[in-house]
Structure 1
Amino acid sequence: MRYCTHADIAKAIPPVTLRQLSNDDPAAELPDESVVEDCIRSAEELIDGYLRGRYSLPFDPVPTVLRDAAISLVRYALYGRRPETDLPEAVKDDRKNTIRVLESIRDGVVTLGMPSGQAAPEPGEIRVRSRKRRFGGDRWKGYE
């Protein structure tokens, strides 16, 4: 399931700005949907990379915190397409905060509160079975 849609991006970025950031043709009247789609795919892959070890993917339904994270990362990627202009501080700060949230989710500090989703086992988890103890502390006292 998708973390965010073109409509979510259109709500987060004003239409004129979205057109300027996504379309390389200055005379274009609409945003370049393929560029927006590329940025969405990139953001989703980054989010999956952070969460793959902790949660079973894909999410259904997608938690709103991940939708917001995807929108933030897409916005940053779109602004990053225009290196000749300075990145707004709000966009930079928003991306830094998003990465911190993703790290917190990955590290188990923040949970997604999935109603039906189960957390995946920690990587490297070891389970051990052993036999019942034959010799307890009382039996060994005579051998000291």
Structure 2
Amino acid sequence: MTYAAAEDMQARFNHQDLVLLTEREPSTPGEVDMAVLTQALEDATAEINAYLSGRYTLPLNIVPTALVRICCDIARYFLSGDNAPEHIHQRYMDAVKFLKAVNAGTVSLGIDSQGDKATTNDTALMESAGSVFARNKAKGFI
């Protein structure tokens, strides 16, 4: 199971860019090579899992939206190879920085260590001593 699907890549990036990034010798001209794209997503998932394995039980039951984006950015970087433009390289470096922060525990994915949605006790609790200006407490002023 990968954290992102080919549809996620196609939703985030230009179709023509994906065609150029996945083009190989046996590819059909003008079409995204799904085998190449799927392999890049699997490689990106493996890299993500290397960072998450120290903090979470894998595979995750719930895939946070942040990991879908991170997986797409890493896969795009892998597809670019040695010719990655600066903005693709920067997005990859940002993704790795995020994953290192998750590994260190400074950033949370919003799931518990077993990969389920995290429960929280950070709820607001309001208490009141009652109404201050009630008729029965006014003693003739109202």
**Under a length normalisation based on structure 2, what TM-score does the superposition of the two structures give?**
0.74
- Is there any run of 5+ residues in structure 1 with no aligned partner, and where? 121-144
**Counterpart-to-counterpart distance in 1, 2:49 and 2:113:** 16
Deviation of 1:2 (Å): 2.8
Q: Is the 8 A contact 1:105 1:111 kept in 2?
A: yes
How far does the alpha carbon of each residue in 1:37-64 deviate from its partner, in whole angstroms, 9 at most, with x for none? 1100000000000110110111121011
Cα distance, 1:28–1:104 mapped onto 2, change above 3 Å: same
**Under a length normalisation based on structure 1, what TM-score does the superposition of the two structures give?**
0.73
How far does the alpha carbon of each residue in 1:18-46 deviate from its partner, in whole angstroms, 9 at most, with x for none? 11110125861211111001100000000
Q: Is the 8 A contact 2:58 2:114 kept in 1?
A: no
How far does the alpha carbon of each residue in 1:95-143 deviate from its partner, in whole angstroms, 9 at most, with x for none? 00100000000010101111xx3369xxxxxxxxxxxxxxxxxxxxxxx
Cα distance, 1:119–1:108 mapped onto 2, change above 3 Å: farther
- Is there any run of 5+ residues in structure 2 with no aligned partner, and where? 116-142
Which residue is equivalent to 2:4?
4
Aligned length: 114
Cα RMSD of the aligned pairs, angstroms, is 1.8
Asked if 1:111 corresponds to 2:108, the answer is yes
